[in-house]
Amino acid sequence: MNSLFPAMAAAGPMAAAWTAHTVWMRRRLDAARRDPLTGLDTRAAFERRAVRGLAKGPHVVLVLDLDGFKKLNDTFGHAAGDEAIRSTAASLDDTLTDRPGSVAARLGGDEFAAIVPLPDAAVLPWLLGGLHGEITAPFAYRGRTLAVGASIGAALTAALPTPSLSLALRRADEAMYAAKRSGGGWRVAEGIEPLPTVNGRRAGRSGTHGGAR
């Protein structure tokens, strides 16, 4: 029996090392799925989760882009821009907290996306209006009160031929760009046909509903 003690003693550090390695790997994987500035999903993680989510029922897919972000960066510096990005992410979290199954992501720069379960499309104007109000509310930065605008595009999966994430994102992006060309606010892509791109952006036009400022 005594011969077991050296083996058990050696196994202890090995088990501890393996546990530590497993925890480290999990943290690395989680970090790869999260945007380091906002804590939101990265594009790749968002796409994986969103595809699974859309299969469960009607959703609205959102694409949003900040207005006046470059001017804020140029005027107050990149740290102020980072704070605007963090504030936008917090607004997304606050708006979607009470909607289980929602997934939000930072796609890159000042562009974000989300999917939100929406069995009743009648509540969409309140959702978009509330989100737009949250994002454009002033935020504090080093003793100053700053603000950015926002353009939000939405696509209802129930209005699409198939609940495809790529198609929904494209329609939402078209609606977002239509809102941006109108001065900001929000647009729903219902009825918007796919449009050609111009320098990588969609040449949007007005949707069937609007709340542009």
Q: pLDDT digit string (tens) for 40-82? A: 999 999 999 999 999 999 999 999 999 999 999 999 999 999 9
d(CA 113, CA 21): 33
Mean pLDDT of 96-117: 95
The vertex-52 CA angle with 131 and 92, nearest 5°, equals 15
- Give the integer Cα–Cα distance in Å for 48 and 51: 6
- Residue 81 dihedral angles phi and psi, to the nearest 5°: -60, -40
* Cα–Cα distance measured from residue 211 to residue 209, given in angstroms and rounded to the nearest whole number: 7
Q: For 5-50, how does the pLDDT look when each residue is reduced to its tens digit (9 = 90+)?
A: 665 566 666 555 545 444 434 444 444 578 999 999 999 999 999 9
User: Are 127 and 97 within 8 A, CB to CB?
Assistant: no
Are 179 and 187 in contact by the 8 Å Cβ rule? The answer is: yes
Residue 77 DSSP class: -
User: What is the pTM assigned to this prediction?
Assistant: 0.76
Contact 155, 189 (CB under 8 A): yes
**Residue of 41, 110, 120, 173 with catalytic role:** 110
User: What mean pLDDT is predicted for residues 184-213?
Assistant: 52
Q: Nearest 10 degrees: CA dihedral of 33, 35, 38, 40?
A: -30
pLDDT digits (tens, 9 = 90+) for 80-93: 999 999 999 999 99
Strand order in the sheet with 59-67: 103-108, 111-117, 59-67, 149-156, 185-188, 209-210
- Is 110 noted as a catalytic residue in this protein? yes
Q: For 109, left (φ over 0), alpha (ψ -120 to 50), or beta?
A: left
